[in-house]
């Protein structure tokens, strides 16, 4: 039997949401029962929860960044080592920041915030750096890979908000401009090499050191205290739910693996296969916004 939302359609179905099968009543009932049984639910979210806000993910078939282009995220070691890599990163990030930072929470973010307030969910770990959970009002959140809305100095650890940094970049580049409607999972966009060469990247106002977003770049590691805190939240939980993640990145997969070792019930909602399907008691191939809205109506 196929379930269709009749009370209210999702307000925005973005072009970056991969194709999926319609949600069934059985899917909804199973997930609702999974959540009802939990008294201390831990949720892990990935890029698939933000595609409905218009931010693409990396790995989805046809619509993910890897499927549409040969582009790859900046590598941490190269960012640290090469001046021209940092110049290119900040030039492109500056152009893409307006679109990336203006994205808004979708129904999934809002429902998870609601569940936190209603004590249906104890803690949330997100692999995303887009701050959409915070925008939606969630408080009990660990940003596993950091947040693009913060910038830090790699030398003295001085910090500044990304919004404030934009103002500094404008002052450094008064006659420099570029426009794009593009958006990427990390805010990156493509601009010409000529534009990049004319761009003056920002530096630390405290020590003059090199700046980077307060995020975990590819090739870098999540800080141990953050991992330890997430493991503590997992140990305290009685069920583990994954939403919108393929779990291909080990930084997130490790928690599902540990949950399985603890014998905790595991649920996964994701369009397409995930690395952890074989460990889950419930796996639902569905768009997060559709099923979470339906489940919320049953709780």
* Distance, CA of 134 to CA of 156 (rounded, Å): 27
- Known binding residue 270? Answer is yes
Q: Give the CA count within 13 Å in the CB-facing half-sphere of 213.
A: 27
Q: Is 29 annotated as a binding residue?
A: no
Decide if 145 is catalytic. yes
Q: Establish whether 129 is an annotated binding residue.
A: yes
Residue 7, token pair as written in the block? 């009370």
Ligand-binding site membership of 51 (annotated):
yes
CA distances from 174 to 55, 80, 191 (A): 29, 26, 18
Residue 170 marked in a binding site:
no
Residue given tokens 């492109």 in the structure block: 92
Q: Which of 114, 139, 160, 127 is nearest to 46 (CA)?
A: 127
Q: Does the annotation list 77 as a binding residue?
A: no
Residue 107 labeled ligand binder: no
On whether 244 is known to bind a ligand per the annotation, the reply is: yes
Active-site residue, from 12, 145, 157, 278 = 145
Could you give the CA distance from residue 258 to residue 295 in angstroms, rounded to a whole number? 26
- Counted residue by residue, the chain has a size of 299
- The answer to the question of whether 63 is labelled as a binding residue is yes
Residue 20 CB coordination number (10 Å): 16
Distance between CA atoms of residues 220 and 52, nearest Å: 28
Distance from chain centroid for Cα 241: 15
- Residue 146 annotated in ligand binding: no
25 assigned to a ligand binding site: no
| 207 annotated as ligand-binding | yes
Rounded to 5 degrees, φ, ψ at 129 are -115, 15
User: Which residues line the annotated binding site for NAD(+)?
Assistant: 46-66, 127-130, 244-246, 270-272, 288
User: Which residues line the annotated binding site?
Assistant: 46-66, 127-130, 153, 156, 203-204, 207, 244-246, 270-272, 288
User: Which residues line the annotated binding site for Zn(2+)?
Assistant: 153, 156, 203-204, 207
Q: Which sequence positions are flagged as catalytic?
A: 145
């Amino acid at each position: 039997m196929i379930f269709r939302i009749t009370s209210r359609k999702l307000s925005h179905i973005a072009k970056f949401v991969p194709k999926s099968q319609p949600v069934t009543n059985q899917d909804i009932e199973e997930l609702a029962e999974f959540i009802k049984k939990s008294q201390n639910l831990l949720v892990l979210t990935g890029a698939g929860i933000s595609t409905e806000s218009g931010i693409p993910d990396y790995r989805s078939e046809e619509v993910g960044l890897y499927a549409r282009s040969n582009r790859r995220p900046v590598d941490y070691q190269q960012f640290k080592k090469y001046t021209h890599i940092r110049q290119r990163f900040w030039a492109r990030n500056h152009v893409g920041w307006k679109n990336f930072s203006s994205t808004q929470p979708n129904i999934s973010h809002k429902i998870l915030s609601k569940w936190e307030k209603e004590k249906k969910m104890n803690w949330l770990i997100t692999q995303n750096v887009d701050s959409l959970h915070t925008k939606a009002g969630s408080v009990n959140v660990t940003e596993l890979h950091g947040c693009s809305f913060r910038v830090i100095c790699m030398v003295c650890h001085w910090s500044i908000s990304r919004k404030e940094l934009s103002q500094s970049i404008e002052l450094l580049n008064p006659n420099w401009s570029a426009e794009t409607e593009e958006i990427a999972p990390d805010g990156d966009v493509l601009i010409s090499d000529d534009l990049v060469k004319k761009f003056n990247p920002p530096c630390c106002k405290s020590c003059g050191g090199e700046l980077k977003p307060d995020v975990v770049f590819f090739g870098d590691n999540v800080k141990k205290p953050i991992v330890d805190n997430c493991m503590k939240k997992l140990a305290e939980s009685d069920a583990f739910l994954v939403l919108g993640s393929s779990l291909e990145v080990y930084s997130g997969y490790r928690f599902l693996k540990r949950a399985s070792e603890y014998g905790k019930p595991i649920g996964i909602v994701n369009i397409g296969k995930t690395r952890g399907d074989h460990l889950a008691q419930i796996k639902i191939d569905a768009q997060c916004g559709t099923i979470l809205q339906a489940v919320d109506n049953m709780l």
